[in-house]
Amino acid sequence: MTRPTVMAVFGTRPEAIKMAPVVQALAADPDINTRVVITAQHRQLLDQVIDLFRLPVHHDLDIMQQRQTLPELSARIMTRFSPILMEEKPDLLLVHGDTSTTCIASLAAFYQQVAVGHVEAGLRTDDLYNPFPEEMNRRVTSQLARLHFAPTETAKAALLREGHPLDHITVTGNTVIDALLQTVATNKTKQFPEFADLPTDKRLLIVTAHRRENWGEPMRQMAEAFRDILDRFPDTHLVFPMHPNPVVREVVEPILADHPRASLIQPLDYAPFCHLMARATLVLTDSGGIQEEAPSLGKPVLVMRTTTERPEALYAGTVTLVGTERATIRDKASELLGDPAAYAAMSKAVNPYGDGKAAMRTHQAIRHFLGLSAERPAEFAPLA
Ligand code: UD1
Ligand code: UDP
């Protein structure tokens, strides 16, 4: 009997981090022929994750271009990925999340009537333009998917509200927690030379920002707010691993580069970044994945957005939405840095997003779909 083929496709850093545990589980299963396609919508950011998790790559579409636009990116993914699907005819295509790679690869699969499994399905803000274009990408992907791997009950409820059948949905937990736990455990005793110059007597503020809707004026306001915070708290040091997109650097560098307590650095590989998060006093970000990781490490997160598709840590009280205005970011950060009680209330470790077994549940649900196992997995439920 020929083994069924499961193909995973991804293109950006967070997709790779979150798909890695699933690819590892599938690749270890002798009943499944696992194939991996990278669109390389990101290049350097993606390659370091592939190396870290030692992921097999069967096709590299190498599509990234500097300052790529959404139409160009989408066209390149569709035209380069479709022939591979046609050639390999997988029994299931796995996509992750809400990037252009996710949405366009799913549409390519639909055109060839290949079933799609969507990892991290059902996240919603209910504002089509926020985050942009991710909210639309994930909604379209949900329409195209046959299997929905929802990280939480909230995500499952969103999918049910939209009419997706209950037996197409599995609550798995988020695979980012699998990746984080694996990475922290493997690198527990490692020394990271990239941090040799970081002061050990200062409270560390870790910052990342990249979202399209924050390009330009919102990002300028954020950078001004960081400067204000550093000036107000001389015992703090800011570390900003900057996204390689020149659109981010052009705004941030003129405001922060000359500050003696700001380190504007290259993006970090995932292992050192996890180490840095674990050392942080406070995380300020517009990232999706970091909203899931930092609470699990007990780090308060100020999310520089007006909405989030990840409400669970908001409810748990470890994440706060602060928008993108200078005064609001500065004042909320000041409250936490200046008031130990406010800080303590936000810095408890919570794990609403996963228990490290999301990839195992995803793998089991895939086996069930392929007719390799009779049982569906027991769903993820966070500890109260
Ligand atoms: C993309 C995703 C976003 C995701 C983010 C994760 C889309 C539309 N956006 O946004 O959902 O949250 O990735 O980081 O799918 N660049 C490099 N090297 C790299 C990566 C990027 O130089 O390794 C530069 C290039 O100039 C590139 C630009 O960054 O054109 C933007 O990359 P792109 O993938 O289009 O958008 P992101 O903002 O990274
Ligand atoms: N990350 C990393 N190095 C960095 C910054 C972030 O490895 O310098 C990781 C982070 O831990 C998380 C992921 O990249 O797992 C988030 O990526 P990003 O913020 O680019 O995308 P998003 O999650 O917003 O889609």
212 is catalytic: yes
* pTM given for the model: 0.98
* Architecture per CATH, 189-347: 3-Layer(aba) Sandwich (3.40)
29 is catalytic: no
**CB of 186 closer than 6 angstroms to any ligand 1 atom:** no
Among protein residues, the one whose CA lies closest to atom 28 of ligand 1: 245
**Segment 332-338 long-range contacts (CB within 8 Å, at least 24 positions apart):** 332/302, 333/205, 333/225, 333/229, 333/282, 333/284, 333/302, 334/229, 334/232, 334/233, 336/282, 336/300, 336/302, 337/203, 337/229, 337/232, 337/233, 337/236, 337/281, 337/282, 338/233
13, 59, 210, 305: the catalytic one is 210
Nearest ligand 2 atom to alpha carbon 266: 8
**CB of 11 closer than 6 angstroms to any ligand 2 atom:** no
Quickly name the fold that domain 5-174+354-369 has.
Answer: Rossmann fold (3.40.50)
Res 16 pLDDT > 90:
yes
Question: 69 CA distance to ligand 1 centroid (A)?
Answer: 10
Res 1 pLDDT > 90:
no
Tens digits of per-residue pLDDT, 217-233? 999 999 999 999 999 99
Q: Please give the average per-residue pLDDT across 34-62, as a whole number.
A: 98
Secondary structure of 148-213 in the HEC alphabet?
EEECCHHHHHHHHHCCCCHHHEEECCCHHHHHHHHHHHHCCCCCCHHHCCCCCCCEEEEEECCCHH
CA-to-CA distance for 53 and 270, rounded, in angstroms? 10
Pairing between β-strand 59-60 and β-strand 262-265 as defined by DSSP bridges: unpaired
Start-to-end CA distance of the chain, whole Å, equals: 45
**CB of 45 closer than 6 angstroms to any ligand 1 atom:** yes
Res 384 pLDDT > 70:
no
243 is catalytic: yes
DSSP result, 314-329: HHHTSEEE--S-HHHH
**CB of 319 closer than 6 angstroms to any ligand 2 atom:** no
pLDDT at position 210: 97
pLDDT at position 58: 98
Tens digits of per-residue pLDDT, 105-124? 999 999 999 999 999 999 99
How far is CA 324 from its chain centroid? 20
Which of 10, 12, 290 is the best mutation target for the ligand 1 pocket, counting ligand atoms within 8 Å of the beta carbon and taking the most? 12
Domains 5-174+354-369 and 189-347 share a fold: yes
Res 349 pLDDT > 90:
no
Burial class (CB in 10 A: 0-12, 13-18, 19+), 258: exposed
Worst-scoring range by mean pLDDT, 41-45, 88-92, 380-384?
380-384
H-type alpha helices, 54-111: 70-88, 100-111
CB 92 within 8 A of CB 147: yes
Tens digits of per-residue pLDDT, 359-376? 999 999 999 999 999 999
CA-to-CA distance for 267 and 240, rounded, in angstroms? 8
What does the block give as tokens for 20?
């890695």
Tens digits of per-residue pLDDT, 129-176? 999 999 999 999 999 999 999 999 999 999 999 999 999 999 999 999
Question: 110 CA distance to ligand 2 centroid (A)?
Answer: 29
Tens digits of per-residue pLDDT, 266-305? 999 999 999 999 999 999 999 999 999 999 999 999 999 9
Res 126 pLDDT > 80:
yes
Enter the DSSP assignment of 96: E
Res 4 pLDDT > 90:
yes
Among protein residues, the one whose CA lies closest to atom 13 of ligand 2: 14
Res 244 pLDDT > 80:
yes
Beta carbons within 10 angstroms of residue 373's beta carbon = 15
212, 249, 259, 279: the catalytic one is 212
153 is catalytic: no
pLDDT at position 188: 87
**CB of 133 closer than 6 angstroms to any ligand 1 atom:** yes
Q: Minimal CA–CA distance to 62: which of 88, 95, 96, 101?
A: 101
What does the block give as tokens for 97?
């999340």
Give 31's pLDDT tier (boundaries 50, 70, 90): very high
Q: Please give the average per-residue pLDDT across 339-355, as a whole number.
A: 94
Ligand of minimum distance to the alpha carbon of 291: 2
Task: Report domain extents, the chain.
Answer: 5-174+354-369, 189-347
CA-to-CA distance for 325 and 305, rounded, in angstroms? 9
Pairing between β-strand 203-208 and β-strand 116-119 as defined by DSSP bridges: unpaired
Beta carbons within 10 angstroms of residue 2's beta carbon = 6
Tens digits of per-residue pLDDT, 75-108? 999 999 999 999 999 999 999 999 999 999 999 9
CB 148 within 8 A of CB 118: yes
**CB of 293 closer than 6 angstroms to any ligand 2 atom:** yes
**CB of 131 closer than 6 angstroms to any ligand 2 atom:** no
Enter the DSSP assignment of 375: P
What residues contact residue 141 under an 8 Å CB cut-off, 6+ apart? 95, 98, 102, 103, 106, 116, 118, 121
